[in-house]
Amino acid sequence: MKLRSSSISLLSFIFLIFLPSLISSQACKKSCGNQLIRYPFGSGPGCGDPRFQKYVTCDQQKLILNTHSGCYTIDNIDYNNHVLYIQDPSMSTCSSTQPSKGFGLDWDAPFTFMDDNVFALIDCSTASSPLYNSQDGVNNSIVPLCDNEGAPICSLLYSCPPITRLNLPISTCCVYTPIDLGPAFEMDLQKLQCTSYASIYSFNGRESNPQSWNFGIALKYKFNVKNDFPSACSSCERSNGVCGYSGSYNSFTCNCVDWLNTTTDCYFAANLSNDVRLLPRKIGTWMISSLAWYLIWAHL
């Protein structure tokens, strides 16, 4: 009985040595539904860049942007130009108009607005809204937050059937100008005393036809201060891997096939995978030899 117990302990010790090297801690996917996922975004914890993980998630096979103001579907990501395009379900368009709370970015979010974004606030109070009588806080001078040159956009928006049915004067539409606030941007419609808003990121070369405009919000994202794509991740993706991170220091990992993670790329993982396939035979031979010597020693 004592000999059998010792043998079991030896076998357990052997598997404890080799088991961690055979199992990967994370399996990252290359897509979410029908959308491609590339760095810096990921399919779950441990995938992509940790700075982006809490903002962009894969939820029910859809990529979602999360901010303090809500959750927004990501329609498309332009990985070459580092731009993602989102939709706010409460936004007013030429297809629908409904009440909205507005839109905001977290102060530490690694995103900024594209310069082409145009925000038009709809059904605003001309009597008491700070849009029309805001003060700059320095010399208490009046600083209007509406762009007078944006009046044609408001006029065209009011030609959209859903907005036309509101029976409101065009003067209650304001093209919101302070979009240069970066990650501190906050569009609180309750505070601004507006009912809804529309956001256009492209006029598609047809500025006079709002039916052809691209409604939505375009956001630029940055990897780091210089916005350099990490060379380690580039090598990982070229080898058909998925970039991720692990450990308490969020160290870089390359997720490869067979759930193997490496700190380099999947070319290394392919060689490792072949070795792993041969490992059971090698372990078995070594275990039999070791057990034989152990049993001989135990009988001495």
Q: Does residue 112 share a domain with residue 260? A: no
Q: What stretches in the chain show pLDDT beneath 70?
A: 1-26, 133-144, 177-184, 258-259, 268-300
Rg (alpha carbons) of the chain, rounded to whole number: 29
Would residue 54 count as lying in a domain?
no
Domain range for 117: 60-221
3-state secondary structure of 256: coil
Find all residues with CB under 8 Å of 25, minimum gap 6, and list them.
Answer: 46, 246, 261
Look at residue 86 in the predicted model and tell me its pLDDT. Answer: 95
Phi first, then psi: give them for residue 220, nearest 5 degrees: -85, 145
Residues 120 and 240 in one domain: no
pLDDT at 37: 94
46 in a domain, yes or no? Answer: no
Query: Does any domain span residue 32?
Result: no
Contact present, 92 and 198 (Cβ < 8 Å): yes
The owner of tokens 């010597």 is 293
Residue 270 lies in a domain: yes
* pLDDT of amino acid 141: 55
Give the pLDDT confidence score for residue 10 in this predicted structure. Answer: 47
What is the rounded (10 degree) CA torsion for 197, 203, 208, 212? -90
Q: Which of 195, 221, 247 corresponds to the end of one domain?
A: 221
Q: Round to whole Å and give the CA distance between 173 and 121.
A: 6
What does pTM read for this prediction?
0.76
Q: Let me know whether 201 and 289 are in one domain.
A: no
**Bridge partners (DSSP) listed for residue 251:** 246
Chain centre to alpha carbon of residue 71: 11
pLDDT computed for residue 57 by the predictor: 94
Q: Are residues 204 and 100 in the same domain?
A: yes
- Looking at 187, 221, 255, the residue that finishes a domain is 221
Has residue 51 been placed in a domain? no
In a domain, 112, yes or no: yes
Does 111 lie in the same domain as 195? Answer: yes
How far, in Å, CA of 109 to CA of 55, rounded?
8
Neighbour order of strands in the sheet with 261-262: 242-246, 251-255, 261-262
Amino acid 92: pLDDT: 93
pLDDT at 167 (0 to 100): 82
Looking at residue 270, its pLDDT comes to 56
Asked whether residue 39 is domain-assigned, the answer is: no
**Average predicted confidence (pLDDT) for the chain:** 79
DSSP string computed for 116-179: T-EEEEEEE-TTT-HHHH-B-SSS--B---B-GGGHHHHHHHTTSHHHHTT---GGG-EEE---
Of 179, 196, 221, the one marking the end of a domain is: 221
Instruction: Determine the pLDDT at residue 134.
Output: 60
> Is residue 48 in some structural domain?
no
Per-residue pLDDT at 169: 82
